[in-house]
Structure 1
Amino acid sequence: MIRAVPGWLTPALLLLSLMSPVLARAEGETPAKSLGERAMDTVRYLSEDVGTRPAGSPADRRAAQYVADQFASMGYDVTLDPFSFQVRTRGTTQNVIASAPNEDPTLPLVIVGGHYDSVPTGPGANDNASGTAAVIELARVLAVDPIPGVVVRFVGFGAEEIGLLGSQHMVDTLSPADRSRLQVAISMDMLSYGEEPAFHGSDPWLSHALARAQSQGWDPVIMPPSYARMSDHGPFLAAGLPGIFFYWTEDPCWHLACDVSSRVNPEAIELMDAIAIELIRIAAG
């Protein structure tokens, strides 16, 4: 359950202005959607219109194209980066990568990603249409008003559910220059069911995320070491690169048919995007 909390940190005001409906509008105009409402459009599309989307399936490709189209509509340069896998069956899937045009290779780099595939046994609304939606909406915010002094690359990871394969592929193909300038890789995964936000990852990013959640009146949970292989930050950590997992406390419908959009809380997505904005600002220096 999401509690009402007073006030936000000043650096997050831009994000909140984009999350909130526009109040002052000409008579007869439709109010703008909030960030949470837009995120729910993505959650419903992926979990209801596309449905179950295991890696390599036609539904998986449809989901990837949706993510790519969303990024492209904001003006990003979009790359579909395919890779093959053999886990129970042989197949091909892809990462969807969005970069700002004319990305400055000398600036610090932040990667923000979330996997768009699901298990075959459930529609994957929380796991992980919620995280995919958070990444898309964060990209939308920064397309309108980018944070100076940092490059942010957005990724829809493929094949997370069969072994974090998309994020492993990204780590394996990351250039030496990008490795040296990477400040943090943020994985958005299962963001919106439970009582409290939860995090796992490397410091100082873990400490920053906890502090920002606490400043908003939450009691965030630090996940145990086993969570180093539970989401797409894992391959970054294993390669000695900084990473953090944005999560929510345990979901009883994890990997089940009951993981449906009506259980997703858009306010949790808004909170996690606000925290991500703060970490990106810190990375910018």
Structure 2
Amino acid sequence: MNDAALQQRLADHLQQVARDRNPYLASANHFFVQQYLQQELSRWGQVTAHSFEHQGQLHHNWVINLPGQDPSRPPILVGAHYDSVPGSPGADDNATGVAVLLELARAFAAQPGKSPLRLVAFDLEELGFVGSRHYAQALHQRGAPLGLMLSLEMLGYCCHRPHSQQYPPGLERLYPNRGNYIAQIGPWQSIPTMVRLWRGFRAAGVRSQWLPVVNRGQAVPDSRRSDHVPFWDLGYPAILVTDTANLRNPHYHRATDTLDTLDLAFLTQVCQGLIYGLRRL
């Protein structure tokens, strides 16, 4: 894989997506990003809208299904939200997740993995996982299986300074104090999957830590802050992949969450690691 080319493509995606794209207070930018998502995903297959209503308005999750080597396997769903909080360009939150999602589409359209891959760009995560909740409920009502759900939530902030990484109380003694790794958070039953993903990240040269949780993360509220939560709550296996948001990134939900605060080399390694890891599943 050409690291420089991948990094440039990620940077190009970020340039398009990192803008205030709140669906209500920056609706033009929100629409622009939706158009960009459709344009980029449609290069690799048919894009469909999963539409839902919220507060009297119609919203859309954007979905593309890519074949796997074994079509009998249940699909792996990888999701990233594309909305932002008002007043923030959301470079890390979550333009980074969207950029990686688009590059996963490129990689797995060219070389399918073992399982079918479903990529979903979710709307309204910032309002309480509204888009992913509608999508998960629709799957559950149909009895549709999933092999795994991965939520990509803030992937591009890295800091090598000591004590740059914070934790919920009780975890600080178990994990590094430098914010220079990518985290995985999932139910303890998903430990074998997290190990496979960890090996993918290691192959890409990026550090990774994982946190197994029980009871859908109820004892660690910070583990329940992204689009994996509706899937957890409905019994689907799901893992959050994150740079840990405000536990590391001081620009979280601020106007300063801009492109110049990101570590593109780190983001590129995370993207490579996900590609390597997903090929192991």
Under TM normalisation by the shorter chain, which class is it? 0.7 to 0.9
Q: Percent identity?
A: 30
- Closer/same/farther in 2, CA of residues 110 and 83 from structure 1, 3 Å limit: same
Tell me how many residue pairs correspond in the alignment. Answer: 245
- Closer/same/farther in 2, CA of residues 228 and 265 from structure 1, 3 Å limit: same
Q: Which residue number corresponds to residue 197 of structure 1?
A: 182
Give the whole-Å Cα distance in 2 for the aligned partners of 1:105 and 1:216.
Answer: 27
Question: Given residue 262 of structure 2, which amino acid in structure 1 is its aligned partner?
Answer: V
Q: How far did 1:215 drift?
A: 5.8
Give the whole-Å Cα distance in 2 for the aligned partners of 1:170 and 1:101.
Answer: 20
Question: Given residue 85 of structure 1, which amino acid in structure 2 is its aligned partner?
Answer: H
Query: What is the TM-score when the length of structure 2 is the normalising length?
Result: 0.79
1:154 maps onto 2:119 in alignment: yes
Q: How far did 1:119 drift?
A: 0.5
Residue aligned with 1:73, SS: coil
Query: What is the TM-score when the length of structure 1 is the normalising length?
Result: 0.78
Question: Given residue 41 of structure 2, which amino acid in structure 1 is its aligned partner?
Answer: F
Q: Which runs of 5+ in 2 are unaligned?
A: 159-179, 214-219
- Closer/same/farther in 2, CA of residues 20 and 213 from structure 1, 3 Å limit: closer
Q: Which residue number corresponds to residue 92 of structure 1?
A: 58
8 Å contact kept, 1:200–1:227: no
1:221-260 maps to which residues of 2 (within 5 A)? 221-222=209-210, 225-249=220-244, 250-260=248-258
Q: How far did 1:37 drift?
A: 1.0
Residue aligned with 1:186, SS: strand
Q: How far did 1:100 drift?
A: 3.0
8 Å contact kept, 1:246–1:272: no
Q: Which residue number corresponds to residue 165 of structure 2?
A: none
Q: Which runs of 5+ in 1 are unaligned?
A: 1-16, 22-33
Q: Which residue number corresponds to residue 171 of structure 1?
A: 136
Q: Deviations over 1:167-191 (max 9, x none)?
A: 11110111677733x1111111110
Q: Which residue number corresponds to residue 30 of structure 2?
A: 60
8 Å contact kept, 2:201–2:272: no
Q: How far did 1:97 drift?
A: 0.4
- Closer/same/farther in 2, CA of residues 228 and 236 from structure 1, 3 Å limit: farther
Q: How far did 1:267 drift?
A: 2.1
Of 245-254 and 216-225, the range deviating more from structure 2: 216-225
1:1-285 maps to which residues of 2 (within 5 A)? 17=1, 19-21=2-4, 34-47=5-18, 51-56=19-24, 57-74=27-44, 76-86=45-55, 90-100=56-66, 106-147=72-113, 149-174=114-139, 179-180=144-145, 182-194=146-158, 195-202=180-187, 203=190, 204-214=192-202, 218-222=206-210, 225-249=220-244, 250-283=248-281
Q: How far did 1:144 drift?
A: 1.5
- RMSD of Structure 2 on Structure 1 (CA): 2.5
